[in-house]
Structure 1
Amino acid sequence: MDMPEAPNVPPSIACRIVRQLTLEMMAMASDRPLWRRDGRRSTCHVRQIAMYVSHVVLGLSLSDIGAAFGRDRTTVSHACNVVEDRRDDASFDAFVSTIERVVLSVFGPAGIGSHE
């Protein structure tokens, strides 16, 4: 039996969904000492993680992600580097891995960046 093709979701909508999932998961994990209570910094971390996951899991281009978040592609590249560097911390890595699995379950294994 053939699997149905994943719907072709516009990058801006996909990024919004990933950001919301990241925000919700961070709220559930906020009792951990890993997360600071500083609202501005927390908003920045949510955005950076969402940008990273949008690129790594969904295969979206840095330019598409930047447009979706109202940022430049170089800012997205920086966010990806920051998240990658922070993954050396086991707790942070586990958190990001969980978000990656959730996003994968929502969008499917093909992601959305692979649709032509």
Structure 2
Amino acid sequence: MRNILTFLQESNDTAGAAHLLKTSAAPVTGSSGLSGKEIFAQTCVACHSADGKGAFPGVPDFTDKNGRLSKPDSELFKHVMGGFQSPGSPMAMPPKGGNTSLTDTDIQNVIKYLHEEFGS
């Protein structure tokens, strides 16, 4: 969470940084063994919101049937692993969503959860 907050502060996204300061997510320690839902709640929800519609302008809406989740899982994996900036978005998602302890399996579990929860 602190990595995301630092990123937002450095990118001059004061609204995003202020939102994160109000968000009380569980501290991220080792993520291995957690379900995709648990990882999403700890690592992703601050920006992507619990309803998957995105908490800030430019954050992908996972409920959009033609949106980000319509991409191949291999592309989604690459975006989570290496970070990604959506065209027209004022901020980028940091690699691993700012949670450097995420493993390949953790990322695969999150992608599976996104499909199950938000469809596509």
Q: TM-score, normalised by structure 1?
A: 0.34
**Bigger radius of gyration among the two:** 1
Q: TM-score, normalised by structure 2?
A: 0.34
Between the two structures, name the one with larger relative contact order (CA 8 Å, sep ≥ 6).
1
